[in-house]
Every structure is written in structure tokens, then in C-alpha cells.
Amino acid sequence: MGKVYLVGAGPGAADLITVKGLKCIQKAEVILYDRLVNPELLEYANERADLIFCGKLPKYHAMKQETINHFLIKHALQGKTVVRLKGGDPFVFGRGAEEAEALVENGISFEVVPGITSGIAAPLYAGIPVTHRKLSSSFALVTGHQQKGSDKDIQWEHLAKGVDTIAIYMGVSHLPLISEKLMDHGRPGTTPAAVIYMGTTGNQQTVTATLETLADKATAANVKNPSVIIIGEVVTLREKIKWFEQLSAADSVGRGYQKAQV
């Protein structure tokens, strides 16, 4: 019997993966990886390892979740060390829990290796803290889209009135609706807001505005997914403490290009 490691690859920059996550990649015999995994991480894989792409694009799945589960189980039953490499953290909008359930149901041994999630890391790289002693004592991580056929709506009223900072994943295409829902439920349209494209990478782009103007500004800047939307007073700190844009292109450690040695 083999073993499966559900590994978080981090928010984008290759050197933000955990040490344990990198060690799992190095010893894996099979790696199933997602679209948002930095391809540099696959360079650490054993040259004899099988690399299987199972990423998802908007409205298109290269591999259905049931098929991914099947491959995890199949290779583990063959006695192999399997890594399921997922962008961000395996249990934050990554279906890692569904995969863990499937492994349990089939008697497969597994471990979950946390990863840095983009809802925290992308704003951090944009100079926006999700919490701040004077501005934000709470924050929420929210998905910007719903599972097809789901009747479970986002709790807009609670988000609008009960949380200081909101980080929204996969929400760019629904940004006008998100802004409208939050304002309809009591969030002022003047609330500072930002959208961060490709956070932590050399392609990072940040657009700041207010809740009521963010959708138009993001469209004008042609911001696409993968992006994280941040709503809250903490966005006002960006101009003061933004640091990533100030780095020299030669600063490979800060920019996430340097190949880590483990």
C-alpha cells in the first residue's frame, strides 16, 4: 500500500511552498498537479516520476474530480508515493477535503501538507494586511462562485455587516454582482477595495478603488483570474506599506524566482 500527500503549493511564487511540501515533491513517484501550481516546482520532481496534469479552467475541467480521486486511489493501491499538488492550501477552496474523504473510504493512508493561501498572501504582497489592530479584527475567506446546482447562497448580510475584511477568491467575473450584494446588505459603497492579479509573482497587478467603483476599474485595467478581491479599510494601508513593487528585478529571493535548496 502506498501513501498520498495532499500538498499545498502556495499562492504562486515557487519559493513560498513549505519545506515539507517541497520534500514531498522530491520523493513522489506520481504527482497530480493543478493549473495554478508554479511549474518551477515540478523541476524538483524525480526524473522518473509520473506527472499528471489535472487542472481546471473556468467552464472547462481537464479532469473531473471523480477521475482525480480514481487516480489517487489507483496509484496508492499500486504501492506508490503519490502527491496531489494543489495551488494555495489543500483545504481552502481546493477540494482537498473531498479527496481526503475518498482516500478514507478506500483505506488509503494520507497526509495533508498546508500551503499559504492566496487570500492572505496576495494582499500581503500588495501591502494590504488582512488584519490590523486599528482597522480590522476579523476577516473572511469567501468563494466568488457557487457549485452548480447549489441552493446555498453566500451570507451577504453577515459579510457586509459582521466582518471587517473580506477576501474573495475566483470572483472577478462576478465582481459587479458581489459589489451590488454587499452594498444592498449595508456595506458602504465608499469602502476601500482592491483586486490583485497573480499575487506574489512577477506578473502581480493591483488595482485599488472603492467597493462601488472596483468593478469598473478592474474592467478598465483588464484584470482577469486568477485574482483575489479584498474589501475593507485595510486597503488604505497599501500606499504606505507596499513593498513588493519596490524590489529590484534582480532581487530573486523577494521576487520568488530563486530555486530553493532543501
Compute the distance between CA of residue 11 and CA of residue 201 in angstroms, rounded to an integer: 9
Which CATH number do you get for residue 201? Answer: 3.30.950.10
List, by residue number, the catalytic residues: 34, 56, 170
Q: How does pLDDT run across 110-122, given as a tens digit for each residue? A: 999 999 999 999 9
Compute the distance between CA of residue 50 and CA of residue 67 in angstroms, rounded to an integer: 16
Q: List the one residue out of 87, 88, 70 whose CA is nearest residue 30.
A: 70
Compute the distance between CA of residue 118 and CA of residue 91 in angstroms, rounded to an integer: 12
Range of the domain at 69: 3-113
Compute the distance between CA of residue 169 and CA of residue 225 in angstroms, rounded to an integer: 9
Which CATH number do you get for residue 76? Answer: 3.40.1010.10
202 shares its domain with 161: yes
In this prediction, residue 49 carries a pLDDT of 98
Q: How does pLDDT run across 44-96, given as a tens digit for each residue? A: 999 999 999 997 665 555 689 999 999 999 999 999 999 999 999 999 998 99
Q: Is residue 97 part of a domain?
A: yes
* 8 Å CB contact between 16 and 262: no
Cell output for 101: 474523504
104 shares its domain with 47: yes
Compute the distance between CA of residue 67 and CA of residue 81 in angstroms, rounded to an integer: 18
| Burial degree of 32 (CB within 10 A; 0-12, 13-18, 19+) | buried
- pTM for the full predicted model: 0.90
Q: Please state, in angstroms and as integers, the Cα–Cα distance from residue 72 to each residue in 115, 146, 235, following that order.
A: 19, 26, 41
